[in-house]
Structure 1
Amino acid sequence: MVRSVVFESDSFSDNIVTEEIMSVGKSFVAFMAICYLAILIIGCTGDEGPIGPPGFPGTEGPPGQNAVISPIADRTFGILVANSSASDLVGAAKVILTSDTNSVPGSDRVVARRLDKAPVIDGADGGDAEWGSAAASTITLDSIAGKYNGIASAHVRAAYDRQYVYLQVKWTEVAISDFAPSKDVNKLMWSYDSAGTNSWVRTGGEDMLCLGWQLTTITGWSTDGIKAIFDGSIFRTPASGEVADLWVWQSTETYYSGYLGDRVVRYADVGDASQFDAGTLPAFALENPASSGKPTYMRSGSPETGTSYPLNSYEFTKFDTQKKWKNHATIPGYISFIPSGSTADVQSTAIYDNGTWTVELRRLRQTGNGDDTIL
């Protein structure tokens, strides 16, 4: 008879072994997970493989369009030219500005040409090399309000590009009566006479160019042009709500700044109603008036012989009454400032040569200011 032997396991020991095996397995899994995450975070960089072949070219896009530069719309403006004194004015009341390439420049018509390269605004006439096909018009100038200074014509060129309009105005002064042509850039210059009266006196005028444009419809402009806002001595529009844009170049007050005075003309019952566009004041020049018969200001550190124009805004000081001034010492009659804001919209440079002024201008076609004409 065979005896069966049954071995009974120790359940407690088996449980311990099982738990140890499971613990080791969990640790291994956790270790592998950590390694995997480390590879993902740190990365593993191997040698870079060869560059693959380029892909197929994409489809061609639609054709582009050439930039279109809009021409200047036909406008009517007026010109005034003064010799040394604002009372000696001549002008052309109505001048047509057009960019119609079929138009011919004439005595009352200026044809603006589109330029690929902007002319240099330096007051030196570069001729066709700078202005291209923008031929000069010889504009006839007549008496304004019965006054005449002998200047019979002005030569005007106009050009434009996408951003700017460019103008060149030339005229030659004429000896008339007791007037002799000269470069009048020393308006009301102070001069000391120590040998005679032992006093300070002021002498000298300035030349002037004005260009006037409609901003709103102005009564009488269609027939009288700039005469509708200028009576020979003052500027003002004929009726309330009517506004004009006036560009004023002066051979002393604006000459030294590199800009001309951009002004707006409105209606007034009496007196002049033109004023500088928005900007800092004084816009261009502060008068150096008399104080007890002497200049109010002088250049800081001025020698006893005085100084010439310009007297800039950053260098003037109170007049030194104790200084021993030399005979014929001079002090400018105006202090020059650099304009800002809308007042400084029109850049300008001028040259006087052998009796002829050449004034060149540049202005944005659209300044974004409500007090400026759009060109």
Structure 2
Amino acid sequence: MTTVRVRLTLIYSGLFLLTSVVLLVTVNLLLRQALRSRIGGLPDPPDAPVRGDLVDRPPPLPDLVEEVINYQWGVAALTVGVLALVSVIVGWLVAGRILRPIHRITATARRLSVSNLHERIALSGPRDELKELADTFDAMLDRLERSVEAQRRFIANASHELRTPLAVQRAAIEIGLPEDVGEIRDKLLFHNHRTENLIDALLVLAQAEHGLDRRRPVALDEVVRLVLAEGGSDDITVTARTEPFVVDGDPVLLNRLVTNLVDNAIRYNRSGGTVEITLTHGVLTVRNTGPEVPRERFGDLFEPFRRLHTTREQGTGLGLSIVASIAKAHGADVRVSPNPGGGLELAVVFARHPGRLRGITTNPL
């Protein structure tokens, strides 16, 4: 596929060569016609003088005209060849200069994310179509930045306004209800806790989808060990094999990513099943022995509020959606494949970051 610069170069060179060839051909044809007309009107030359046995005769005028015209055609052909090379070089340079603002706009668009929406193209120069395009793009970024800032303020306000009444409700249930209504009390506390988890998950999902404002080196192997030390299941065997790996990102979001992967593998599992976690060469892999999932349903795993099976513990339906959003915010890819015998293998592939090797550890839980 040819680029715009190549096409512009070909157009410039083609037009230049076409006009040059037409000009040279026209000049040569008119010159031949003029010479023949002028020579045809001249009187015949006198007889040439005789010098001994040699006769000093000049060449006939018509032959001289043909020699001049042929020489003119040769010079014209050489000139067209040189001009062809020069026109390609000049056309390439001119096309590059004309398209330079387009490259600047493209580079800015590729570099932009939620964390650097304050950047602008700020194209200088004459008020032409490219300047108008850059200014339109900058105006769009202004609107987008204001929208993102409004969403961030809404998330912060929602976090405060939603968590506070839930905390008050939980305290009222725990303190105000008597012991003889234990079943109702437990059910209210369960739904209260579930609502809190749902709100927390939605807020984390919104934060991950907005990108990362700040990054810092995070030891992902330490995050895995911390998550495994804090959680687990009595009838699910969890094993982990990790090697040192550093990710530039947010430690809280990375902790939630690992937590959701492990919780999902435990929740969607069979009694007495296993969960295997590995971290090697920048790939975090979580395998479980849960139910089989058809390949055509893989895409639904990362959609919010999608539950493919009845689980041991009802979740919010946002676990893997949050995983996908956090991975995208860190420049990672999430891949899913069926595990032989049932269950899934979820792999999060991070960009490589140089880290100090400290050896490989194995943690059976």
- Normalization by structure 1: what TM-score? 0.24
Higher relative contact order (CA 8 A, sep 6+): 1
The structure where strand makes up a greater share of residues is 1
The structure where helix makes up a greater share of residues is 2
